[in-house]
DNA sequence: GCCTGAGTTATACATTTGGATAATCTCGCG
DNA sequence: CGCGAGATTATCCAAATGTATAACTCAGGC
């Protein structure tokens, strides 16, 4: 009557850590930190709970690793957005803004992850540092793109504009991710481009006409 | 050696419910939903855990009540912002925007609360309805204020502008609450007014000059 | 082909959690 | 001043959680 011991495959440390981290992220995204119990994580990753402790000294370690992986991924996506885009400042800024307002960045799970980790980030110095670094990197990239526009602007103005544009993108990101059914396809991107343009006094919509919703250039 | 039974005071149902709700909110704001255990809530409210069940059938009931109270409070604050302000459309809009960008709305605990409840809201139909109602009420109020501006704008444009302004306010709210040290006093409000004005093509800063940082009219 | 070591599972444990129930204390009312 | 009602506490309980440890099994080296 006692079933045989579950059979398994040995896998590389790399792939096991990755799948445990992925399981953690998806659980936090769906149900918040409280849903990411060791047992739930193990089940989703297809292993038994004990294995977690084999790869992570403690559950907090896994949590931290999952958050760091999240931030790294976001940064990479930001950099990708400028890949292969023209040299014209308006075009580059438009591509950057649009990239933050469509999947995979604009995604219900991403907002859920971000919210789920907020408290852990606030109470953990290590995560706080990771978070601030990622946040400022994004805002600095935005400010650099704004500074490259053919306008006259002093440092204080650039800073204020970067804060405003960043807030606008963040707000649209949250709105669009949380209420995906309330917006027509591409509506969030259009609103984002028009509003950022209005704040900066340039026309971004005209410079993004050649970029489709998927981010690929139309040919 | 056995200490006597802890002495207590009987209080009205109203005040007990209120203090339990307040305790729940502060705990969620500080440490997320996981920090709001029945024992922690009871301790913060100065009662024993069993009392929670006397006033709320289950812990989920208390959680729901705390969220509903939060949303109601936000709505009230939004209405208060328009109290005693002049009739000029620009002035009213400026007051509304500014109210969302200073305490008590702009507050680290408020963002923490919002984030902490996000998953619970997403997975609970009752809370979801409360949330959507509160959200749309805010956005509609904003759209009405925008529509009152002396400009020409069709319905589609008004909708898009309301979405954009709402996102901007939300984003600044999050940024300002999470990184309070990064901004000079009033900087968030100034940026918000200027940016909303830019999006709508009106000058809100001029019409808010008579409103100080505390929201009281200067005399 | 076996045998050793590391990857993986199974089991156990102390703690914490939300919930249930009975005992007890407070306070308004006669 | 007594007393009854119900507000509040104390105690108990089953389930879930993170962690520790022992047992097993897969894979490569001799």
Please give the pLDDT value at position A85.
Answer: 85
Q: Which of A135, A176, A198 to mutate to test the interface with B (most CBs of B within 10 A)?
A: A198
How far is A77 from A72, CA to CA, in rounded Å?
9
A33-49: pLDDT as tens digits: 999 999 999 999 999 99
Q: Which of A140, A186, A199, A201 to mutate to test the interface with B (most CBs of B within 10 A)?
A: A199
Q: Give yes or no for residue A170 having a pLDDT over 60.
A: yes
A47-85: pLDDT as tens digits: 999 999 999 999 999 999 999 999 988 888 888 888 888
Residues 148-177 of A with CB under 8 A from B: 160, 163-164, 166-172, 174-175
Please name the fold of domain B11-56.
Arc Repressor Mutant, subunit A (1.10.10)
H or E segment at B207? helix B204-207
pLDDT category at A218 given cuts 50, 70, 90 is: very low
Percentage of the residues of chain A whose pLDDT score is greater than 70: 94
Asked if B169's CB is within 8 angstroms of A175's CB, the reply is no
Query: CB–CB of B115/A115 below 8 Å?
Result: yes
Render the burial of B29-39: b for 16+ CB within 10 Å, e for the rest.
bbbbbebbebe
Please give the pLDDT value at position A185.
Answer: 83
pLDDT category at A166 given cuts 50, 70, 90 is: very high
Contact partners, residue B54, CB within 8 Å, separation at least 6: none
Q: What is the mean pLDDT of residues B124-131?
A: 89
Contact partners, residue A28, CB within 8 Å, separation at least 6: A35, A36, A66, A112, A113, A116, A117
How far is A124 from A132, CA to CA, in rounded Å?
12
At which residue do the structure tokens 């749309």 appear? B136
Q: Chain A contact for B63, CB < 8 A?
A: no
Please give the pLDDT value at position A79.
Answer: 84
Comparing C-alpha atoms, which of B148, B13, B151, B39 is closest to residue B94?
B148
DSSP 3-state assignment of B45?
A: helix
**Where along chain A do the CATH 1.10.10.60 domains lie?**
10-56
B142-163: pLDDT as tens digits: 999 999 999 989 999 999 999 9
Q: Give yes or no for residue B84 having a pLDDT over 90.
A: no
Provide, in whole angstroms, the distance separating residue B62's CA from nucleotide C11's C1'.
37
Q: Which of B59, B110, B119 to mutate to test the interface with A (most CBs of A within 10 A)?
A: B119
Q: Give the length of chain A.
A: 219
Provide, in whole angstroms, the distance separating residue A48's CA from nucleotide D24's C1'.
14
Please give the pLDDT value at position A209.
Answer: 58
Query: CB–CB of A195/A203 below 8 Å?
Result: no
Q: Count CB neighbours of A109 within 10 A.
A: 14
Please give the pLDDT value at position A92.
Answer: 94
How far is B199 from B73, CA to CA, in rounded Å?
28
Q: Give yes or no for residue A179 having a pLDDT over 90.
A: no
Provide, in whole angstroms, the distance separating residue B51's CA from nucleotide D6's C1'.
13
Select A65-207's CATH number: 3.20.19.10, 3.30.450.20, 1.10.357.10, 1.25.40.10.
1.10.357.10
- Cβ burial, residue A34 (10 Å; 0-12/13-18/19+): middle
Please give the pLDDT value at position A2.
Answer: 56
pLDDT category at A6 given cuts 50, 70, 90 is: confident
Nucleotide with C1' nearest the A10 CA: C7
**Where along chain B do the CATH 1.10.10.60 domains lie?**
11-56
Asked if residue A5 keeps its beta carbon closer than 7 A to nucleic acid strand C, the reply is yes
How far is A25 from A74, CA to CA, in rounded Å?
13
Q: How close, in Å, is residue B217 to chain A by CA atoms?
A: 26
Asked if A123's CB is within 8 angstroms of B118's CB, the reply is no
Q: Count CB neighbours of A88 within 10 A.
A: 13
Nucleotide with C1' nearest the B50 CA: D9
- What is the secondary structure of A71-127 as a DSSP string? HHHHHHHHHHHTTT--S-HHHHHHHHHHHTTSTTTS-HHHHHHHHHHHHHHHH-HHH
Asked if A175's CB is within 8 angstroms of B171's CB, the reply is no
How far is B16 from A97, CA to CA, in rounded Å?
48
Q: What is the CATH number of domain B64-207?
A: 1.10.357.10
Asked if residue B8 keeps its beta carbon closer than 7 A to nucleic acid strand D, the reply is yes
Q: What is the CATH number of domain A10-56?
A: 1.10.10.60
pLDDT category at B49 given cuts 50, 70, 90 is: very high
Q: Give yes or no for residue B2 having a pLDDT over 80.
A: no
Work out the mean pLDDT of chain B and round it to a whole number: 90
Asked if A198's CB is within 8 angstroms of B201's CB, the reply is yes
Contact partners, residue A13, CB within 8 Å, separation at least 6: A55
Query: What residues of B are in contact with residue A170 (Cβ under 8 Å)?
Result: 167, 170-171, 174-175
Q: Chain B contact for A32, CB < 8 A?
A: yes
Q: What is the mean pLDDT of residues B115-120?
A: 93
Work out the mean pLDDT of chain A and round it to a whole number: 89
Q: What is the mean pLDDT of residues A109-137?
A: 90
Q: What is the mean pLDDT of residues A100-125?
A: 89
**Where along chain A do the CATH 1.10.357.10 domains lie?**
65-207
pLDDT category at B219 given cuts 50, 70, 90 is: very low
Provide, in whole angstroms, the distance separating residue A4's CA from nucleotide C3's C1'.
23
Residue A186 backbone class (left: φ over 0; alpha: ψ -120 to 50; beta: rest): left
B193-206: pLDDT as tens digits: 999 999 999 999 98
- Determine which of B106-110, B134-138, B177-181, B215-219 has the lowest per-residue pLDDT on average: B215-219
Comparing C-alpha atoms, which of A179, A177, A68 is closest to residue A124?
A68
At which residue do the structure tokens 């009205």 appear? B12
Percentage of the residues of chain A whose pLDDT score is greater than 90: 61
Q: Give yes or no for residue B217 having a pLDDT over 90.
A: no
């Amino acid at each position: 009557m006692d079933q045989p011991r579950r059979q398994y495959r040995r896998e590389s440390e790399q792939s096991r850590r990755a799948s445990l981290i992925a399981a953690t992220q998806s659980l936090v995204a769906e149900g918040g930190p409280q849903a990411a119990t060791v047992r739930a994580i193990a089940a989703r990753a297809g292993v038994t709970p004990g294995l977690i402790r084999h790869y992570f000294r403690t559950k907090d370690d896994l949590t931290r690793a999952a958050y760091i992986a999240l931030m790294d991924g976001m940064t990479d996506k930001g950099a990708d957005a400028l890949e292969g885009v023209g040299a014209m400042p308006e075009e580059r800024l438009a591509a950057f803004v649009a990239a933050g307002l469509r999947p995979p960045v604009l995604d219900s799970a991403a907002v859920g992850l971000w919210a789920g980790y907020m408290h852990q980030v606030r109470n953990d110095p290590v995560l706080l540092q990771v978070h601030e670094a990622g946040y400022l990197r994004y805002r600095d990239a935005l400010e650099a793109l704004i500074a490259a526009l053919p306008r006259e602007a002093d440092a204080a103005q650039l800073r204020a504009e970067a804060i405003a544009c960043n807030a606008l993108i963040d707000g649209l990101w949250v709105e669009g991710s949380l209420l995906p059914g309330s917006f027509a396809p591409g509506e969030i991107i259009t609103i984002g481009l028009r509003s950022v343009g209005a704040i900066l006094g340039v026309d971004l919509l005209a410079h993004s006409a050649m970029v489709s919703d998927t981010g690929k250039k139309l040919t």
